[in-house]
Chains A and B, each alone.
Chain A
C-alpha cells in the first residue's frame, strides 16, 4: 500500500554496524508502530508512538531505538546490529482515537545481519 512506505526494502549489513530503517506515511495518522516478524512467529511490537512527543517501548525494544521526526515519519535504528536481529520489519499506522485499532502496514524491510 503506497500510503505507508518503508526504505530500504532489503538490507544486508554486518555485525556491529548501525543501521536505520525509515517509515513514511501519507495517511495523516497520528499513531505509528514498528514490528518485527520472524519465520513461524507472529508480529512482535518493538516501539510505538502515539504522537511526535510520545514514544513507548514495545515487548522487544532492547537493541533498538526510534525517532519520530514528524507526524509522517518514524524511523527505527539498530545501534549495533547482531545476527539475531535478522528479520522482516514492518511499520504500521493507526488514526488517533482508535486505540490499537485497525493498523495499516507498509511493505516491510527485509534485514539480514551477517
Chain B
C-alpha cells in the first residue's frame, strides 16, 4: 500500500531572532554529524559539521552543539534572516555503515 507522508516539524521565527533546530540521532557509534540546508527546488547544501570528540563548533552565524549522552544535536542560527527559510536536515555518519543517515528535517520559516 501507499505510505503516508509525515508532517515535518516546523519552526517559525521573526527576522532577527535566534533559531534553534533540534535533532535526535540514532546510533551511539556515530562519529561525525552534519547539518544541511535545503531550499525549495534545490539540493541540500552543507552548513556545518562536528566530530564526536567535540561538543560545540561555531561557524558564521551558526553553532552546532552535540550531546552524546542523550544522542542529541542542535543547530543554532543567530540573527535569523528571511533567506534562512528552508528545510534543515541533520545527518550522522556511522563508520561501520560507510554512509550517512539523514534525519526527517525541520521546516524553518522566517517572517520579516
Interface of B is mostly: loop
In the complex, the answer to whether A103 meets B100 with C-beta atoms within 8 Å is yes
CB distance from B67 to the nearest CB of A (A): 21
Contact residues in B for A69 (Cβ distance below 8 Å): none
In the complex, the answer to whether A84 meets B99 with C-beta atoms within 8 Å is no
Contact residues in A for B8 (Cβ distance below 8 Å): 40
Count residues on chain B whose CB falls below 8 Å from chain A CBs.
28
B45 CB–A CB distance under 8 Å: yes
CB distance from B88 to the nearest CB of A (A): 11
Complex CA–CA separation, A38 to B5 (angstroms): 7
In the complex, the answer to whether B93 meets A42 with C-beta atoms within 8 Å is no
Count residues on chain A whose CB falls below 8 Å from chain B CBs.
27
B82 CB–A CB distance under 8 Å: no
Interface of A is mostly: loop
Q: Take A40-B8, A42-B104 as given contacts and tell me if A102 and B46 are in contact as well, using a CB distance cutoff of 8 Å.
A: yes
In the complex, the answer to whether A105 meets B49 with C-beta atoms within 8 Å is no
Contact residues in A for B2 (Cβ distance below 8 Å): 84
Contact residues in B for A74 (Cβ distance below 8 Å): none
Contact residues in A for B34 (Cβ distance below 8 Å): 102-103
